[in-house]
Amino acid sequence: MAVFQGAGVAIVTPFKANGEVDYDKFAELLEFQIKNGTDAIIVCGTTGEASTLSHEEHLDVIKFCVEKVAGRIPVVAGTGSNCTETAIYLSVEAEKLGADAVLLVTPYYNKATQKGLYRHFKAVADSIKIPVILYNVPSRTGCNIEPETVVKLCTEVGNIAGVKEASGNISQVVKLMALADGKVDLYSGNDDQIVPLLAMGGKGVISVLSNVAPRETHEICEKFFAGDVEGSCKLQMRSVELCNALFCEVNPIPVKKALNLMGMEAGSLRMPLTEMDEANVPKLEKALKDFGIL
């Protein structure tokens, strides 16, 4: 049984002007997502700026999210780290706090071998009972989980359920699913590739786009699963301009700007991320307007 099927939002972490987590705004964002059909909340991931949260803040945000969502949809907690012991600590604590699953990013900077990746993910998964979704994003980590390693982990480690694939390499995804034999729950990690990965047997998407267009992202998946592939494709293609705008600078810079333009008050970013270049703002505004958001 998959952790979730459909569109899960990789939700931002809103900050106050003084840099503290803005829990009031976070509660509003969570309600906005649930009201608009999002199928799961992925908290403290890349989009949530987890890399600049202290361990205490990280766990407090997970705790708050779990309590506010209150079982209405699954909560997947980002607990990955380039330090195996840290990933174990965060994962164990997230399980205690009531997270339904964890998302484990490939260790960054270390550039582990495939053997090292296997041992890292197995060690973390063995420390908890809740499901694990691997997160492959080599553009940010400098390290790729090969299809054979994903399949080996999902086959040999009982609670490793699948992978968020954000390599952008469709050929790699095809190979992965050819080897998977139904043992790998695949989630798209790229909003412009939702339908292609669903066509390969994917369960859904872990989405940045859902922050600003939760209903539409949900419907891309819903229509596909209902057999309306043409309708799903049309929504996917309609979203391309907005997806491009949301990634015209490193995530989550544009999506936070988009939420602020929408009046959602997601706040600022933590350094080393900085505010969006003013030259890119008109492009983002146009994409939001063309999509019918502004």
Would you please indicate which residues are annotated as catalytic (active-site) residues? 135, 164
**Residue 23, CB-side half-sphere exposure with 13 Å CA sphere:** 11
Could you count the other beta carbons within 10 Å of the beta carbon of residue 189?
Answer: 24
Cβ-in-10-Å burial (0-12, 13-18, 19+) of 64 comes to: middle
Q: How far apart are CA 151 and CA 124, in angstroms?
A: 17
**Residue 204, CB-side half-sphere exposure with 13 Å CA sphere:** 24
Kindly write down the DSSP assignment for every residue of 151-201, as one continuous string: HHHHHHSTTEEEEEE-S--HHHHHHHHHHHTT--EEEES-GGGHHHHHHTT
